[in-house]
Amino acid sequence: MKKLTPFVADAVLVIVFCAIGRHNHNEPVLAGMARTVWPFATGLLLGWVIAIAIAAGGEGASAAKRFDGRPVWPTGVVIWLSTLVGGMLLRVVSGQGIAFSFVLVAATALALFLLGWRAGLKALRWN
């Protein structure tokens, strides 16, 4: 269960990011949530797969079992970038569209969410 906690934290934060965006655009938060979340959730899953593969480094399943989802680098950065880029690409492909300002806001908010808790955890472990 402990290994699953970082993934759950990331998933909840992606949902919160999407809910905040819907609320800020005066859209019903729950009504269209699945349409808003799925591109970013798919990017998040892809990021986790890539991060686990990087950590395994060709060592196979035993290395993947030892995977720790908490480090900022490279794990958090890979997950953040995959969530952002994957989410944006899937939004475009699905006809939801993007604007440059949205990409900037999403990059900042997702970095704060997906990297922020990892950086905070690291800072707390240093003290």
| One pLDDT digit (tens) per residue for the chain, 127 residues | 678 999 999 999 999 999 999 999 998 888 999 999 999 999 999 999 999 999 998 887 787 788 999 999 999 999 999 999 999 999 999 999 999 999 999 999 999 999 999 999 999 987 5
What was the pLDDT predicted at 127? Answer: 52
Q: How far apart are CA 124 and CA 13, in angstroms?
A: 20
What was the pLDDT predicted at 59? Answer: 84
Query: 87, 102 in Cβ contact below 8 A?
Result: no
What was the pLDDT predicted at 51? Answer: 96
Phi, psi of 81 (to 5 degrees): -65, -40
Instruction: Categorise residue 68: left if φ over 0, alpha if ψ from -120 to 50, beta otherwise.
Output: beta
What was the pLDDT predicted at 114? Answer: 98
What was the pLDDT predicted at 1? Answer: 61
> Who's near 63: CB < 8 A, 6+ residues apart?
55, 56, 57
Of 36, 33, 35, 65, the C-alpha closest to 52 is: 65
Q: How far apart are CA 20 and CA 22, in angstroms?
A: 6
